[in-house]
Every structure is written in structure tokens, then in C-alpha cells.
Amino acid sequence: MLDGRTVLVTGASSGIGRTTALHLAQLGANVLAGVRTPEAGEALGPTVTPVRLDVTRAPDVAALAQYRLDGLVNNAGIAVTAPLEFLPVEELRRQLEINVIAQLAVTQACMPALRATQGRIVNVSSIAGRVALPLYGPYAASKFALEALSDALRREQQEVGVILVEPGSIATPIWDRSLAAADALYAAMPPIAHERYDALVAKLRGMAEKQGEEGEPPEAVARVIATALSTARPRTRYVVGNRARVQAALARALSGRAMDKLLARAIKT
């Protein structure tokens, strides 16, 4: 399926990235697994080649130009969640730096190699790139932006395919990390923030915990990424998960006001 093709997967230490790197290796790909520490690389085992990669460090990104590549999976990312009214602006900058700007920087470094092989880029977005939930504004903003960059890049040139994968609820460590970070961020906000948002934060936190427990396995995303890299005529977008497909359909069918009302009811129940 992917025999002999060389694919770089960013954010391969855990979750979707780790699962994808190992799955692609099983399908015969030569996988370069982007990890931030040597320990994370060793933990991946012998079937992939670890590459030291912090996507926000310019030297790490520049070093990617040395590799011959048939595919790039831009997966590295974080999730910042907080009420926008009280969100420290530097947190939004951090969210966009990692989830948007760094993705473009990695893509730029890899484009010459991908052009040479007429390869493909798979950008791991989210259903949050179509539907912005309350408190998920920073994360959704980053995914909406990634979707726009992906569409523009695909339309600017024909040599390299650009495909979006949009998972919904996936059981990965990103939600454990984001909940811990969100708790710390929210705790530091002024009393008025707690007066206005405690109930909403508690409700959305419960939903996020459930998402982490009941979400689809990361293998579901890995399989879709493999298809996007290997099929003769890939789609421009792949939505992963039944809930995500429902959300995508609603986003297409409903007006903004109707979507607001639907989400408000869902959060109250």
C-alpha cells in the first residue's frame, strides 16, 4: 500500500501521531517520526526512524529539507480552551503559533522534496475547523485557519496534493493535557470570570472528559490518513467519526442562528 514511500509524521510521540506513524510503518512506509525528545523516539520502537523535531524551533524545521519525502502528515498541535472574554492574548498567540504557523513552516521546508516526488500533504485538522464550540474558540480558530491554508495551498499548485483529515471525538492524551492546562488557565482568571463562566466551564469539562473516554480510537484516524496518502484520487477532506459527520452535516445545513440554538440546547441538557 505504501511500500517504499517515505513519510514524515509530526507530533509522533503520542495519540494520533504515534498511532499513525506505527500504522504507516506496518503498511510498508519508511516513516520519519517527529518527536521532541530522544526518549520519545526510543519509545516508538524499531519500525520507524525518530527525527528530533520541535515544530516551533527554526533549526529543527530547517533540517527537514535534507530528507527525500513522498508524504507529510502535519499532526503536531495543542488545544487551548478558555472563555474568550478573559483569554490572555499570549495564549491565543501560542495556540496559533503551534497549530498554524508552525504547520506552514514545516510545509515550506518539505515542499521542494514533495514537489520532486509529486507527494502529498495530510493536514490533521478537526471538526472544530467547521464548528466552533463555546470555550473552544482558540483551538477552533487554529483549525479554521489550518483549513484555509490547506485549501489555498492546494489551489496554488498542482504538483503536491493537500488533504485535510477532520477527526471528531478521538480518545487521545491531548484532551487530558488540555484539560489540565485549561484548569490552570481558568483558575488564574479574575473572580468575575468565574461568576460568569463557572457553569459553562463545568458543563464543557464534563463533555470533554466523556470525549476522552468514549471517543473513537486513534487507529480510526490513522487508517484514514493512510488512505489519503495512498489512494489514487484522494478527497480534499475526510471527516472521521460518526459524531463528526453529523456535526459537519449540521454545519452545512443550518444557518448560524439555528446552529447557535442547537448548541445551546445541547449544552443545557
Question: How far apart are alpha carbons 90 and 45 in whole angstroms?
Answer: 36
Residues contacting residue 182 through CB under 8 Å, at least 6 positions apart: 80, 81, 82, 135, 205
Question: How far apart are alpha carbons 218 and 171 in whole angstroms?
Answer: 7
Largest CA distance in the chain: 58
Question: How far apart are alpha carbons 75 and 143 in whole angstroms?
Answer: 12
Under a CB-based contact definition with an 8 Å cutoff, are residues 178 and 140 in contact?
no
Grid coordinates belonging to 20: 499513525
Residues contacting residue 85 through CB under 8 Å, at least 6 positions apart: 193, 196, 197
Question: How far apart are alpha carbons 180 and 249 in whole angstroms?
Answer: 31
Phi/psi of residue 97, nearest 5 degrees: -60, -45
Which position among 67, 136, 139, 238 bears the catalytic label?
139
Element (H, E) at 227: helix 218-230
Residue 139 is a catalytic residue = yes
Q: What is the DSSP string of 120-154?
A: EEEEE--GGGT---TT-HHHHHHHHHHHHHHHHHH
Hey, which residues are catalytic here?
139
